[in-house]
Amino acid sequence: MSNVLRLAIVDPNDQSRETLKTMLLGMDIVWLDAECSRYEFFADVVLQSKPDAALISLDGGPDRAIVLMDKLRSSSPDCALLAVSKSSDGQLILKTIRAGVKEFLPLPLDVEELHSALERVLQLKYGGADGKSRGCRIIAIAGATGGVGCTSIAVNIGCNLARNAENSVALVDLDLALGDADVFLDLIPDYSLVDVTENASRLDFQLLRKSLTKHSSGLYLLPRPVQLQDLELITPDGLRKVIGLLRASFSHVVLDISKSYTQVDLLALELSNEIILMVQLDLPCLRNMVRLLMSLQHLESVREKVKVVVNRVGLESGQISLKKARETIGREVFFQIPNDYRTMVEMRNNGQPLTEQAPKAAVTLAVQQLTDLLAGVQIAPKQELEKPTDRSTANNWLSFWPGKAGQKAKVK
């Protein structure tokens, strides 16, 4: 399902259990599904929560812990067992191995050793034929300025991904003040990002999905806060927890980033696997694009993920040529989306994704192709859509920006 291991722990000692919880909660490959302080009750906890793995501390009673392991091996055979103990007694370790334990870890725990053990269990449960786990992909859609189509593209990429039965997809509206992803999908959500953030520590898989609003395509939406006064409740730490929950529950998460590039937005970019930076071929957009790329270049966790996507290619309003845009921003364009203003406006006003509004339109096919590229589907290269047009008014400003090869060029 994902690259996150759902884990339940049992440890009769409150202090060591809290230490263990703190260590696990700091790992992004773990969802702490349940905890228990009694060996006698833990088998029932595992039956109810159905975690991927159970971590059992032996130091509250080694004999009772071994009995528990034998019981779990028969009652929950799909649950991988891990053991921790301060003891290094060979006979005890041998007993745990005979009871079905996959990993035995000495206390005090080494963080890297624990992380490696959890990764091995994760690989054992979810590894594919190619030796890679099936990980959640987080796709951030950001823009060089407002109105470049970020929400339109985010919504349609989310719907396209969700229509694949093998995917489970969530869209998070991070334009906290003025986001309108719910309008694009014609949805009236019962809960918002604030509700999930405030209850992140109490949510399980079922409650999480009930807190999101489901679209007919299968896409789940987590909208922005209702009240402007609630914006301050969304913090980087809170967002990190929410994305951790979503990562554990969904195969894909699409983030619609605001144009403010706040600390919340920058964290979202950091946590993403792919960053789509939307731009149009006009002077303000290219100017902001250069500024953004220069800033993001200093963020090691972000700079290699950025892919430039040009929207509304072919707009008959004197666009700057694609060639000049490439020279100006100093990198290749990942993808181009053709201009179809009428279809996009109808899609928004009707609250329908492109595949429902205009399934055969060129813009619909282009967004589907972009989705396939992001999903790793091999497709034929797309030919250039943009035809150079004159825009001599841009020359003065663009001449101050170095081109890809450090040269200055005039708009063609």
| Number of residues that make up the chain | 412
For residue 77, what pLDDT is reported? Answer: 93
Q: Is 231 within the bounds of a domain?
A: yes
Q: Is 406 within the bounds of a domain?
A: no
Asked whether the whole model's pTM tops 0.75, one would answer no
For residue 128, what pLDDT is reported? Answer: 47
Q: Is 131 within the bounds of a domain?
A: no
Final residue belonging to a domain, choices 66, 99, 126: 126
Beta strands at 213-214 and 220-222: parallel, antiparallel or unpaired:
antiparallel
For residue 410, what pLDDT is reported? Answer: 40
Beta strands at 213-214 and 169-174: parallel, antiparallel or unpaired:
unpaired
Element (H, E) at 220: strand 220-222
Say yes or no: 260 and 284 in one domain.
yes
For residue 152, what pLDDT is reported? Answer: 97
Q: Using alpha carbons only, what angle is made at residue 66 by residues 60 and 71, rounded to the nearest 5 degrees?
A: 120
Q: Is 269 within the bounds of a domain?
A: yes
Final residue belonging to a domain, choices 72, 103, 126: 126
pLDDT tens, the chain, 412 aa long: 445 788 999 999 999 999 998 888 777 678 888 899 999 999 999 998 888 999 999 999 999 999 999 999 999 999 999 999 999 899 999 999 999 999 999 998 888 888 889 988 888 877 644 444 456 899 999 999 999 999 999 999 999 999 999 899 999 999 999 999 999 999 999 999 999 998 876 776 677 888 999 999 999 999 999 999 999 999 998 898 888 888 878 889 999 999 999 999 999 999 999 999 999 999 899 999 999 999 999 998 898 999 999 999 987 666 788 889 898 888 899 999 999 999 999 999 999 999 999 999 999 999 999 999 998 875 555 545 554 444 433 444 444 344 443 343 344 3
Residues near 273 by Cβ (< 8 Å), separated by ≥ 6? 137, 138, 139, 305
- The values of phi and psi at residue 401, to 5°, are -105, 130
CATH of residue 370's domain is 3.40.50.300
Crossing angle of helices 263-271/236-249, nearest 10°?
30
d(CA 91, CA 97): 10
DSSP code of residue 336? E
Say yes or no: 310 and 384 in one domain.
yes
Which residues form the domain of 109? 5-126
Residues near 73 by Cβ (< 8 Å), separated by ≥ 6? 81, 99, 100
Say yes or no: 122 and 180 in one domain.
no
Question: Please, are residues 411 and 394 in contact by the beta-carbon 8 Å criterion?
Answer: yes
Q: How many domains does the chain have?
A: 2
DSSP code of residue 366? H
Say yes or no: 372 and 256 in one domain.
yes
CB contact burial 318-346 (16+ within 10 A = b; e otherwise): ebbbbebbbbbbbeebbbbbbbbeebbee
CATH of residue 103's domain is 3.40.50.2300
Say yes or no: 184 and 250 in one domain.
yes
Say yes or no: 225 and 373 in one domain.
yes
Q: Is 235 within the bounds of a domain?
A: yes
For residue 394, what pLDDT is reported? Answer: 43
Say yes or no: 113 and 141 in one domain.
no
Q: Is 410 within the bounds of a domain?
A: no
Say yes or no: 234 and 302 in one domain.
yes
Say yes or no: 64 and 147 in one domain.
no
For residue 400, what pLDDT is reported? Answer: 39
Peptide bond into 236 cis (omega under 30): no
Q: Is 45 within the bounds of a domain?
A: yes
Question: Please, are residues 209 and 248 in contact by the beta-carbon 8 Å criterion?
Answer: no
Say yes or no: 274 and 198 in one domain.
yes
Final residue belonging to a domain, choices 98, 126, 154: 126
Report the DSSP beta bridge partners of residue 138: 253
Say yes or no: 98 and 162 in one domain.
no
Say yes or no: 98 and 181 in one domain.
no
Q: Is 279 within the bounds of a domain?
A: yes
